[in-house]
Amino acid sequence: MAQASGRSAPTLEGRLVVVTGASRGIGAATALAVARHGADVILVARRRSELEAVAGQVESLGRSAFIVVLDLRDCQAAISAAERIVADVGTPDVVIANAGHSIARGALECAERFDSYSRTMGVNFLGAVAFLGPILTGMAARGSGHIIGVTTAAARTPLPGWVAYSASKAAFDTWLRAARPELAERGIHVTICEPPLTDTAMIRPVHGHSPRAIPPERVADWIVSALERPRAHLGPWWMRPASVLVAAAPYATASLMWRFTRRPQLRPRTPTESSSGA
C-alpha cells in the first residue's frame, strides 16, 4: 500500500470514508489522500465515468473504492443513497460532505434566475443534510463518527456578486455549527472546512487559473490532518481576523469587497426569455 510522504505508516487504516463531490477537484484529491493513509472510500458524485477514474486511482493504492452515482439536488435520492450505503456496507466512520455548486451571479441577476438559488441550495445545503441524515442516525447509535463539512471562506465573509453561492454555503456552515454540540454528545466529531479560492474546474469559468487559488491537494491535506486529530475548523490563517472585521463593520467590508471583486453583470433578460435553466 502506498504511504503518504513523510509518514511511517497509514493513519486511517481500515476506516470507511464517504466523499461527496468525489469526481474531481477537492473531492477527488481528498479521496486519494485518505486512501494513501489507509482508508477505504465511497465515492459520491453525478458523473459515473469520472468516478470510475478516481476509483481506479484509489484501487491502485491498494484500497477499496465504491461508487455511488447521485445528484444531491434530489433530496429523496440522497436519503435513499445514504440508506443503501448503511444497509450494504455499514455506517461509515467518516463523511466528507464536499460536493458544491457555484453560480457567479449577483442579486439583480438572480432576480430573474430563481433557479440560481434552488440549484445551489439543493447541492450545497439541502442535499447535503438529506444525505447525512441516515448516516448520522447510524453514527449516533454506534457512538462514534466524524463529519467534515466543506463550506467556503465566503460563508463567513459574504462575497458580493455570488449571492446564491454565499447564502447556500452559509446555510450549511451554520447548520454544522448548530449541530456540533448535539452531535458531540453522541460521539460524533464535526469539522468545518472553509477553503479560500481553490484551483478547481468549478472556478475556472470566472477566475481561470488564478495565481491566488490554492491547489485542491492543500485542502485535502487539511482534511486528513483533522481526521488524525479532530478539530473544529480548517481554513487559511486569515479567516479569523477576516471574520472579526466582517462582524465589526459588515456593510463597509462588503462594499470594499464589492469594489475589488465586481464583474460585468449579465445583460438583462427580455420578457420573452425563459427564466429557467443554467
Q: What sign has the CA pseudo-torsion 218, 235, 11, 93?
A: negative
Burial 58-79 (b: 16+ CB within 10 A, else e): beebebebbbbebebbebebbb
- In this structure, are residues 23 and 54 in contact, taking their beta carbons and an 8 Å threshold? yes
The residue with cell 471574520 is: 243
Active site residue 165: yes
Residue 71: closest CA among 24, 128, 151: 128
Phi–psi pair at 5, nearest 5 degrees:
-60, 135
Bridge-based pairing state of the strands 65-69 and 40-45: parallel
Which of 162, 165, 172, 175 does the annotation list as catalytic?
165
Q: Which residue numbers are catalytic?
A: 165
